[in-house]
Amino acid sequence: MSESLSPEDGQKILNYFMNKKLTIKICDGRRITGFLYCTDNYPNILISQAVESWEGVKNTERRIGLVMIKRDIIKNIFIAKDDM
């Protein structure tokens, strides 16, 4: 059983990861890598310096800059080891 976070704890976690490099897998097979810029109340995620690639397909990187990712299409979020 998973515990839910209080809004204060959630805010602390978000503040810690702000401007950290992360990779987000989305449900259509794409990966978006970039820096956590902000979230909204839903919580959708805004990534800066974003690079899009397709999982398992070589040479598909595409720089897309600033991108918003809706929460309902996110499969996984990974924080880069060098940013922890």
Res 1 pLDDT > 50: no
35 close to 49: Cβ distance less than 8 angstroms: yes
**How many domains does the chain fold into?**
1
Structural domain boundaries enclosing 80:
34-84
The pLDDT, as a whole number, for residue 83 is: 65
Q: What is the mean pLDDT of residues 37-65?
A: 92
In a domain, 20, yes or no: no
Give the DSSP per-residue string, 11-79.
Answer: HHHHHHHTT-EEEEEETTSEEEEEEEEEE-SS--EEEEEEEEEETT-TT--EEEEEEEE-GGGEEEEEE
The model carries a pTM of 0.82
Residues 6+ apart with CB under 8 A from 73: 26, 27, 28
